[in-house]
Structure 1
Amino acid sequence: MMKLPLTTLSKTLSVVLHPFVLPLYVMLVLLFAGTVYTRYPTGTKLYLLWVVALYTLVIPLLMMAVLRSLGRLSNFSATERRERLLPLAIGTVCYLLCALNLSKVPSAGLLGRFMVAAACCEAFALWITFHWRISLHLTAMGAVVAFFVLMNVAGAGGMMPLLVASVLAAGVLASARLQLGSHNGAQILAGFAAGFLISSAVVLLL
């Protein structure tokens, strides 16, 4: 009797915490939740939000719609491993373009590095997809957790609650993906570990 509610909840969580929307959540939290970035002028905040929304959500969704209309995708979830290749390549380029536009705000260098890290995660996922199926949801969530860990280590104010929230969200999302049968434990763990390690390395080394 509980199968349908759990399945519905898991599907909802997979959409709400989709890789396309996670960067926008991060930007909204940084700009409006009492962090150092809340000091930006309104115009700068709107520019940053528009850039992130355009390159990590709007363009990827449009490209997915085009690929679907051309018969290159059976569904928007890209459940088939071979169907993920082109969307991942597009995502890599979009993240790099996002980082390039964020670099126009001199004090937003860390945010730009985060987008470069996200591009590297996409590139890694593209490479591994040729050989194995990894959880893209948990790869993205691993990158988000890494970002908040690094912000806390750097001493940025107000980040600990965000780190705790991101870790809890990662656990809930992992459970949802397992409930749906979208991935096994190894694919979920590998995705989170890859996202966390790649993002940490890129942000620290750039």
Structure 2
Amino acid sequence: MQLDTRRFASLVSWIISPVVVAPAVYLLIVLYRYSATSSHLDWFLVLFLSATIVPMFLIYGLKKIGRVSDYNITFREQRFLPLLVLVGVNLVGYELMKQLDAPRFLSAILLFNAVNTVFILLVTLQWKISIHLFSLTSSIALLVLSFGLPALVLLCFVPLLMWSRIYLKAHNFMQTLVGSIIGFLLMYGEFKWWLAL
């Protein structure tokens, strides 16, 4: 029974992970808001590469050479280098989106991903925040901005993911709670400011 519970917690942790949730949300936004534009798949490709492909290969490579102990980068001290690289990846993606004349909303996703990764990186110097929860709620914030308040129903996945990360001993309650709250508020606030410019 305990083994089955652990497997379920691991499954939840992998399915509701940054490399799955973020690109799914980006695809939904691109298809819903920009599918009439011929370049919409190019824009999604840049988002997908930045949010999923590059991070996966980066973590795989770091695991292969022994710079991180596991794919979730459980130990806080091992997070600095991959987070720093991901800041650069998102900034390059942002510049590429501008070259592709992407809508400001889409290019801002990568800009604020970079900004928020810097925030996480700075927090990581002293504390361990849940990137899983941060990514989930910041993605939900994007959906609220795109589809309105009904998207808030997706916050029902937050307690499930919190339980998963705590059960797997990847985080404690406060690390998941703070990641959840800050992830949503940062992304929502940044976009409200950006779209008002």
TM-score when scaled to structure 2? 0.88
Q: What does residue range 18-167 of structure 1 map to in structure 2 within 5 Å? A: 18-32=17-31, 35-41=32-38, 44-106=39-101, 108-151=103-146, 158-165=147-154, 167=155
More displaced 10-residue stretch of structure 1: 129-138 or 91-100: 91-100
Paired residue for 1:175?
Answer: 163
Supply the distance in 1 between the matched residues of 2:111 and 2:180 (Cα, whole angstroms). 17
CA 1:104–1:161 in 2, change beyond 3 Å: closer, same or farther?
farther
Task: Please report how far the alpha carbon of residue 136 of structure 1 lies from its aligned counterpart in structure 2 after TM superposition.
Answer: 0.6
Aligned residues: 194
Q: 1:191 aligns with which of 171, 179, 182?
A: 179
More displaced 10-residue stretch of structure 1: 82-91 or 192-201: 192-201
Q: Deviation per CA, 1:163-198, whole angstroms, max 9, x where unpaired?
A: 423x12323212221222211111011111221122
Quote the sequence identity (%).
Answer: 26
Supply the distance in 1 between the matched residues of 2:157 and 2:28 (Cα, whole angstroms). 14
CA 1:113–1:177 in 2, change beyond 3 Å: closer, same or farther?
same
Q: Secondary structure at the match of 2:72?
A: coil
Q: What does residue range 1-16 of structure 1 map to in structure 2 within 5 Å? A: 1=1, 3-16=2-15
More displaced 10-residue stretch of structure 1: 101-110 or 113-122: 101-110
Aligned residue identity for 2:24? Y
Aligned residue identity for 1:112? S
TM-score when scaled to structure 1? 0.84
Structure 1 gap ranges (5+): 152-157
More displaced 10-residue stretch of structure 1: 7-16 or 62-71: 62-71
Task: Please report how far the alpha carbon of residue 15 of structure 1 lies from its aligned counterpart in structure 2 after TM superposition.
Answer: 1.2
Q: Secondary structure at the match of 1:39?
A: coil
